[in-house]
Amino acid sequence: MPHSRHTYILFYKPFNVLSQFTREGGKQTLADFGPFPKSVYPAGRLDYDSEGLLLLTDDNKVKHALLEPRFGHRRTYLVQVERVPTDEEMMRLRAGVVIENRKTLPADALLLTEEPELPGRVPPIRFRKTVPTAWIELTLREGRNRQVRKMTAAVGHPTLRLVRSRIGDVGIGQLRPGDHRTLTADEVLLLPGAEAQANAG
């Protein structure tokens, strides 16, 4: 098996956990979960107040492919926002919006008709009877700092909850916050940078 010398772990990062093993103040980190092999590190990151998938690996080729902007790998997010976006606002998200003087790349944006089946967040989102919310599935091909939150704010819909549900073609499946599992050999081949390595192996 060409990938047996590397480790690939999918971790569901809970809310208010840092995407790192190093301790920082009193905040929870990846070191509070696992146990994970000492050789693995996150390929990319999720903000402290975001949730969802992190890939932990010791495969530097895959890490490079995930982190290098020119590869444009897909990241899919489930985003709860204030109020219900209009068709025009959804089109703006798809076409790209200007954040910090630079337009975002075209994205896939879908207004969901039903709330996605996700574990409850701890603590939960503050409910406001006078402000309806909506869920958007947003797929990006770039990873600018707090990009999803800045994009939804730019079209007038602040993000309330943000969950990364897919990295490329690898999805969250049945994982719960704090859970992790090893990727199957077939899933590894779906990772950016892995196929070429497998063919070369």
26 belongs to a structural domain:
yes
What is the C-alpha separation between 58 and 5, in angstroms, rounded? Answer: 9
86 belongs to a structural domain:
yes
> What is the Cα gyration radius of the chain?
17
Q: What is the pLDDT of residues 47-77, one digit of tens each?
A: 999 999 999 999 988 888 887 767 778 899 9
Q: What is the pLDDT of residues 160-192, one digit of tens each?
A: 999 999 998 899 999 999 999 999 999 998 887
Q: What is the pLDDT of residues 20-49, one digit of tens each?
A: 999 988 999 999 998 999 999 999 889 999
3 belongs to a structural domain:
no
Q: 110 and 62 in one domain?
A: no
Q: 96 and 59 in one domain?
A: no
The CATH number of whichever domain residue 176 belongs to comes to: 3.30.70.580
Residue 40 neighbours by CB distance under 10 Å: 20
Q: 159 and 188 in one domain?
A: no
Percent of the chain at pLDDT > 90 equals 69
The CATH number of whichever domain residue 101 belongs to comes to: 3.30.70.1560
Residues forming beta bridges with residue 57, ordered by sequence position: 8, 41
Q: Name the strand (E) or helix (H) holding 200.
A: helix 194-200
Note whether 76 and 138 are within 8 A (CB): yes
Domain that holds residue 122: 74-167
What is the C-alpha separation between 60 and 83, in angstroms, rounded? Answer: 41
Q: 65 and 46 in one domain?
A: yes
Note whether 51 and 163 are within 8 A (CB): yes
Q: 92 and 42 in one domain?
A: no
Which residues are identified as catalytic? Answer: 47
Q: What is the pLDDT of residues 76-116, one digit of tens each?
A: 999 999 999 999 999 999 999 999 999 999 999 999 999 99
Backbone angles phi, psi at 54, to 5 degrees: -125, 140
12 belongs to a structural domain:
yes
Q: Which pLDDT band holds residue 4 (cuts at 50, 70, 90)?
A: low
pTM for this structure?
A: 0.90
Q: What is the pLDDT of residues 140-153, one digit of tens each?
A: 998 888 999 999 99
Burial degree of 55 (CB within 10 A; 0-12, 13-18, 19+):
buried
